[in-house]
Structure 1
Amino acid sequence: MAINITAHKAVLSQLAPYNARLVAVSKTKPVEDIKAFYEAGQRIFGENYVQELVEKQAQLPADIEWHFIGHLQSNKVKYMAPFVHTIHAVDTLKLLQEISKQAAKHQRTINCLLQVHIAAEETKFGMDRQELQQLLEYWAANAPQFSHVRIAGMMGMATNTTNETQIREEFHQLHQLFGSVKSTFFNNHDYFRELSIGMSADYTIALEEGSTMVRIGSLLFGERNYNGK
């Protein structure tokens, strides 16, 4: 196993002053690795593939808080609706509607984070500001449609670059947008509080720019194995 429990402790100590939480990204990693971090006290794990998430959830302790952090197709929501805690990458109105529909079948409420495109790469997913505004306006005007989802915050991925100034600026802009959305649409809703930014290479910058939740994989689990994915 290439897991790094020492790194896990170090990351937690870095998060503590910011009251930020760690999503341990366990995609492509075996159940045994997840168990090792579970035994070290980690309870929040993030997965990118629905089938893999469903298989792992069935084999692991029931008190794990599962987060889905990958790009999600609407037709796959039903498979994880019985148990998923938070879906990080909600980037369309259609997807938000489907999550609420599937959650309702299980008398559950699923936390959702709205993904905003902040990176230079066109290949990264997420809404632009206009799309975000349109989704939120529809949500506000049609609240009964969304009774089984809770918009708990926002999520973004910075450009894959070594230019820390650029990364910081992208995170900073998203944090400002988060504040604007909070004051406009969620001023009376305490549950809108999560800003999911920061991964293994840039989480320290993200913390300084307002992150409440970092998604860290390779630093904890070692490099990923994509064979068969």
Structure 2
Amino acid sequence: MQMDNKQVCENYARISEGIAEAAVQSGRSPEDIAFMAVTKTVDPVLVNVAIDCGIKLLGENRVQEWQSKRDAYRSGVPVDFIGALQANKVKYLIGNVRLIHSVDRLSLAQEIEKQATKHELIQNILLEVNIGGEETKSGTTPETLPELLKQVQELPHVHVCGLMTIPPPCQDTYFLEKMEEVFLKTKELPDTDMQILSMGMSDDYKEAILHGSNLVRVGSALFGARHYT
């Protein structure tokens, strides 16, 4: 069940405090961490409540759902696309989203290049890494990441500015630590601009920040459990 307005604001304050504490523990400022509100299945009215409380970044999972809701959102708040992306939906995102998080293959990057060229702009993206090697999740492997990065860097209208991952559920921080290592190693590769590590969701955003994340994607902890129709 989704929250009411008061609960959303209370959750926002609580999560923001947790982000700030984790940022300080990791030797950074709270302002260094982006708090994304994931809006999948959430009524635009509640999304606007979150914006009024202080949310400055939205994350959308589905192109069609985003298209149906975008005009109802407060203006001026940037949107990132974070869901699995089919090549035939890319054209709807270019020029309309700040960042595409879920680029996991060269063919998808090439389609982004094609559409960005038409719009005469450079589209910022993150490369998605399947850090746990899970068959049910998309993403390049840590081993194939350097080659994919090299290939995508050759596309003039696509700019790789970081990595994204969804670690497997785990009782410890093994996969968070592993992803932090991958991110730091990737930053050292030639001609890279690794600014963003998008890692951490409702259940693990604090731990993710402690392991280098500077963008956390929070949905259910902010808006309540999702309901699907």
| TM-score, scaled relative to structure 1 | 0.88
Task: Name the counterpart of 1:147.
Answer: 156
Mapped contact 1:54–1:80 kept (Cα < 8 A):
no
Corresponding position: 1:21 with 2:34: yes
Gaps of 5+ in 2: none
The 2-side partners of 1:49 and 1:211 are apart by 23
Give, in whole Å, the separation in 2 of the partners of 1:59 and 1:147.
34
Single out whichever of 206-215 and 148-157 deviates more from structure 2: 148-157
Secondary structure, counterpart of 1:130 in structure 2? coil
Match of 2:199 in 1: 197
Amino acid corresponding to residue 221 of structure 1 in structure 2: F
**Maintained 8 Å contact 1:15/1:21:** no
Counterpart residue identity of residue 17, structure 2 = S
Distance apart, 1:120 and its partner CA: 5.5
CA contact 1:15–1:207 (8 Å) conserved in 2: yes
In 2: Cα distance, 1:66 partner to 1:103 partner = 17
**Of 30, 33, 39, which residue of structure 1 is paired with 2:43?**
30
How far 1:172 moved relative to its partner? 1.1
Per the alignment, do residues 26 and 98 of structure 1 end up closer, same or farther by CA in structure 2, a change over 3 Å counting? same
For 1:105 and 1:15, how far apart are their aligned partners in 2? 39
Match of 2:185 in 1: 180
> Which segments of 5 or more consecutive residues in structure 1 lack a partner in the other structure?
none
Aligned residues with identical type, % of pairs: 35
Question: 203, 209, 218: which one pairs with 1:207?
Answer: 209
CA shift at 1:107, angstroms? 2.8
SS at match of 2:144: helix
Number of matched residues? 216
- The alpha carbon displacement at 1:101 in A equals 1.8
Query: C-alpha deviations, 1:161-214, integer Å up to 9, x for none?
Result: 4x1x1xx11111111111111111345x4xx21001100011111011000000
Report the 3-state secondary structure (helix = DSSP H, G, I; strand = E; otherwise coil) of the residue aligned with 1:84.
coil
Q: Secondary structure at the match of 2:189?
A: helix
Structure 1 counterpart of 2:219: 217
Equivalent AA in structure 1 for residue 18 of structure 2: Q
Correspondence 1:169 to 2:174: yes
1:44 partnered with 2:49: no
Contact 1:89 / 1:114 at 8 angstroms: preserved in 2?
yes
Q: CA deviation at 1:82?
A: 2.8
Distance 2:190 2:220 in 1: 35
- 1:11 and 2:15 correspond: yes
TM-score by length of 2: 0.88
Kept after mapping to 1: 8 A contact 2:202/2:218: yes
